[in-house]
Structures are given as structure tokens and as C-alpha cells.
Structure 1
């Protein structure tokens, strides 16, 4: 089936930039602001409507790999190759805490929807669950045999999904730390995971160029998509959960009906994109590239 053109309006660059690659983009709960984590050791806050860089958070000693925002929008947490997590007060734009539990470069962060816990993962092969109120680690999850590169939490807040350079996807119970599933089948690093809104499926993307959908109920693979012609770097699900975005080293952004494994749209992008996220209203995609630039891809309803 021939893919339809995605319903795009324009690709608008931000009014500012990092001086090195953007590794992660995330959004405040209202979708008004985007946060970006960069190799230039900073986190920037952007007004999405104007595209302006309104705040720069500095303090990490090495590249910043990931950033998340608390559900009330008052705090951000960033992860870095300097082995630390840093907590930022977004109301005044200052660093409030430095957390140093990991023994190697921290690669990924995730947060439960209720804001009670946040989760970090690193090259030390550990997943750590933290209490957000006390900023204390409450549980360490050990099972990966290589670097962990990505995390996601189920919308009901009960499970965390981790994946990385051992080519597997693991599902953990947040309350008990029990390993519930290990999904095997990817042939190369798993670099991005997402969870569907009904808490029923995990979607994973790998440098083997494929996307897989897994059942959280049965623990089985349910869909395999030969998605791109080069490494896939990131996935993002639409707010209602029906549409999946993937970006790849093959210079494409693809729009998928993940349930059918059907390609809905294919956009060629000149820039090497590293990360993407869809705004809560579903009207924009925020993209970060390898040159330090952010873009806002406007969508039609």
C-alpha cells in the first residue's frame, strides 16, 4: 500500500539553539513548554508557541542524556554522562539537588504519572526507582547484561520498561521490583520504548531497523514492522495512543498505525534527528537534531 503524506503544515525552527547535539526532548504537562537535553551540558526550556529559548539550566559536567518534568510542572530532573541526576526548580530556574547513586553514565529517565516515583537507568546496568518526595532510592533492579538506553512507565504507573544494548526489553513491577517479562527478538540495541494508553502493549525500536509490538498480558510479540532503512533513534505515541511516530538515520520521520503495522505517512528530513515528542493536544511534534537545533512540526487536525 502506498503511504499517504502525513497531515503536516510546516516545519518551524526554534528561535535559538544548543551548541551541540540534542539528545532528548520532553514537555511540561500543559504542553506550553518543551525541555531539551544536549551534549553541550545544558537543559533548555522553550516556549513552543514563540519558539523562544526562555531558560538555560547549567550544572552538569558532561553531556545531558535525558530530562523529565514532574506532573505539576514545577521541577525537572536531568541525567548525564557525569554519573549524576540533577533536580531543577523550574519556578526560579535553579538547581536544587544533585543525586549520585549510579556508578556510570546515566542514560535514561522516566516518571510515574502520579509523580510519586521517578526511575533512572545507566551504563552500570541498574534501573533505580526513586521516591520523588524524599529524592531517595528505594529499589534497584538488576537484570540487564549491558548498558540500559531507554525507559518507559505504563500509564497506570504499575510497571517500568527498560531496554538497551543487550538487545532485550524487560518489564518490571515498580512496587515489588519483580521482573515480569523479558522480550527477546531484536537483533541489535533497543534504543526507544513506548507503552500504549490501555497498558496492554509495549512498542520497541531497535538499531536493527525494526519496530516490535509486545503484549504485556501474554509476554509475546504481536507485531513486527521492518520500519526503516537505517538505525531508528526514537519513538513517540500520540496522546490518544493510536498513532506512532518514528525517526531514523535514514532521514525520515514516519507515521504509523501501530495496531495494523501500516505506514500512514513518510516525511523526508534533511537534518539528522535524535529525538521527538508529540504535544498533549496532538497538534505538534517537537524534534531535536544532531546540530543542536529544535523544530516544531505543525500538524493539521
Structure 2
């Protein structure tokens, strides 16, 4: 079912075209390959599954984690898959193999979020042990450990390679944002690995973070049922998006900067205009199950959503 909040042109009409069944537990994370051909799903059933996005055909099942999978990420070149688990490890895979080429150990809590750098050299992992770890992907070597607070970290996001404001002027640097149990979002400069800011004003858990392509705006999915959008330079909140009736579990921004997509425990996906903060439409499936993860294709025409019942829905824009 699709409910449009106002009258919209055809390019904002989305339809569920496929329901994929294969996981036996929560689909906690989704990622779409840069070419838009492959969907990766990570589940609490302990597996990562690779699917053909256009047909829903299962390609591979990766099943070497000993506990549930919280997060999955794909590299920009499509050659690396990384997964983080309740078993406190990160595994690195290649798309054409069904066995992990590397297991990264060092966290003493579940690995809740991961990200791969745009140059495909560094992997970032966030854990309930309140640390973020930086790893060299090719060697598996631990590069550094960042500690921002004593609270568990649930979400991380990397900025894009552009010039970002800093405390010492305009310099070329990349920012890592993290958030978790204390509701704060901490900003790290990766060239110095120092904190360069803290975004405040969110009073509930941060479940997901996304940074817009302009590197000026950051969105977070909050346990209070809202999505907050900050201006990174000033630290000010300039939009609070309200519409979900329960906690917001996931948020993504298309690489073009529009739209913003959120998934919620209320069983809905909402699509928002980043500039105005207006809700464009609401997507809801044929069951009341919570939406735990969302992903959008590079073409901006396909959405994937993961649910607590183990299903994945594919949505097409018409």
C-alpha cells in the first residue's frame, strides 16, 4: 500500500514489485552494489545473502559468523564485502567466493556498524564496546582505535571527499560521524583522528546516520521517532522530520542528495525532501512488521527494505 501525503508527480510514486524470502530472522542491514545489480542482506540468522536486485534470485549465502549479523557494507569498486556481527568480529569477503578471506578481531562487544572508505583501503567498525576501530582491509591490520564516549556506538557514517569546514579553516579532510546510546553525534577528522565537533539536541538513541553528498548536512534516525538534520558546520538542527509513530531504525540519502529515506519500527518507509523537510510519501507493505533496514540503488529508481520477519521488499519508482 502507498499513501501519498500530498499530490506528487509520477516520479514520486513507488510500488512494491517483489518480496524476497530467504532469511529466517531480522534483516538487520542492506546494501546495494555500485552497479545496482546486487543486493547484500545481513540477518540475525547469522548469514549474509547476495541477491540479484532485478530478479530477486539468490546468488550466494555467506554463513561463517557464529551469531547474528548486524551490518554489511560494499566497497565502491564492488570487490569487497564486509560484515559485522554479534560474535564481535568483522569478516571480509569477495563477491565471487563463499568463504571469508579475512576475520578481524579486537572488539569486545557486538559490531553494530561498519563503513568502507571511498578509496577502498580502510574499514571502520563501531561496537557496543564504545569504540570505533580502523582496519587496513588488505592486511587486516588494526590501524587505530577511537573512543568518543562510554556509551555503546550503534551508527557511523563517512563524509565524501570534499573540502569540509574545520576549526582551523577550510582544509581538505574527511569526517567520520558516530552516534549511539547517549544520543550525541561525535565528529572525527580522519587526517588527525581528533574530535572536531559534537552535535547535540537529540535526546534518544541514535540508530543510524547518513551524511549528504555536499558534506554540509547530516541526518540521524532517532529512538524518539524523528529524523533530525544538522548543519555540520554550525551544529544547528534545521529540520526535525516527524511522521513515524515509533522509533526510526534506518536512514539513507541518495548519492545525488535527494531523497532521504527512513525506515521505522511502525512498519513504514518514508521518503522526504531534504531541502524543505517535507514528507513526500509513505510506503507500507502487507504486514505490520517493523522495517529494520533500507537501501536505495544508484539509479534512484529502486528501494530495498528489510523486516523483522526475515523478508525483503523491493520497491520501484514509477
Q: TM-score, normalised by structure 1?
A: 0.95
Q: Does structure 2 conserve the Cα–Cα contact (< 8 Å) formed by 1:239 and 1:279?
A: no
Matches within 5 A, 1:31-110: 31-110=36-115
Partner residue, 2:19: 13
Whether 1:126 and 2:131 are equivalent positions in the alignment is yes
Please state whether the residue corresponding to 1:294 is helix, strand or coil.
strand
Please state whether the residue corresponding to 2:113 is helix, strand or coil.
strand
136-145 or 266-275, larger mean C-alpha shift: 266-275
Residue 258 of structure 1: CA displacement? 1.9
Residue 219 of structure 1: CA displacement? 2.2
Q: Does structure 2 conserve the Cα–Cα contact (< 8 Å) formed by 1:3 and 1:266?
A: no
Residue 267 of structure 1: CA displacement? 2.2
Q: Does structure 1 conserve the Cα–Cα contact (< 8 Å) formed by 2:42 and 2:69?
A: yes
Partner residue, 2:234: 218
Q: Does structure 2 conserve the Cα–Cα contact (< 8 Å) formed by 1:194 and 1:202?
A: yes
Q: Does structure 1 conserve the Cα–Cα contact (< 8 Å) formed by 2:50 and 2:61?
A: yes
Partner residue, 2:213: 197
Partner residue, 2:160: 155
Partner residue, 2:292: 274
Q: Does structure 2 conserve the Cα–Cα contact (< 8 Å) formed by 1:234 and 1:247?
A: yes
Instruction: List per-residue Cα deviations over 1:52-94 (Å, max 9, x = no partner).
Output: 1110001111100001112221221110010101111222222
How many Å separate the matches in 2 of 1:19 and 1:224? 35
Q: Does structure 1 conserve the Cα–Cα contact (< 8 Å) formed by 2:268 and 2:290?
A: no
Q: Does structure 1 conserve the Cα–Cα contact (< 8 Å) formed by 2:212 and 2:255?
A: no
How many Å separate the matches in 2 of 1:8 and 1:225? 20
189-198 or 224-233, larger mean C-alpha shift: 224-233
Residue 225 of structure 1: CA displacement? 2.1
Residue 21 of structure 1: CA displacement? 1.1
Q: Does structure 2 conserve the Cα–Cα contact (< 8 Å) formed by 1:193 and 1:204?
A: yes
How many Å separate the matches in 2 of 1:252 and 1:91? 34
Match of 1:164 among 180, 191, 197: 180
How many Å separate the matches in 2 of 1:172 and 1:185? 18
Partner residue, 1:255: 271
Q: Structure 1's 293 and 268: CA in aligned 2 closer, same or farther, altered over 3 A?
A: closer
Residue 273 of structure 1: CA displacement? 1.3
How many Å separate the matches in 2 of 1:145 and 1:209? 24
Structure 1, gaps ≥5 residues long: none
Match of 2:261 among 220, 245, 255: 245
Residue 297 of structure 1: CA displacement? 0.5
How many Å separate the matches in 2 of 1:10 and 1:297? 4
Q: CA RMSD in A?
A: 1.6
Q: Does structure 1 conserve the Cα–Cα contact (< 8 Å) formed by 2:5 and 2:282?
A: no
Structure 2, gaps ≥5 residues long: 162-172
How many Å separate the matches in 1 of 2:268 and 2:46? 27
Aligned length: 299
How many Å separate the matches in 2 of 1:76 and 1:242? 25
Q: Does structure 1 conserve the Cα–Cα contact (< 8 Å) formed by 2:5 and 2:281?
A: no
Partner residue, 2:281: 265
How many Å separate the matches in 1 of 2:19 and 2:175? 36
Residue 2 of structure 1: CA displacement? 4.7
Partner residue, 2:305: 287
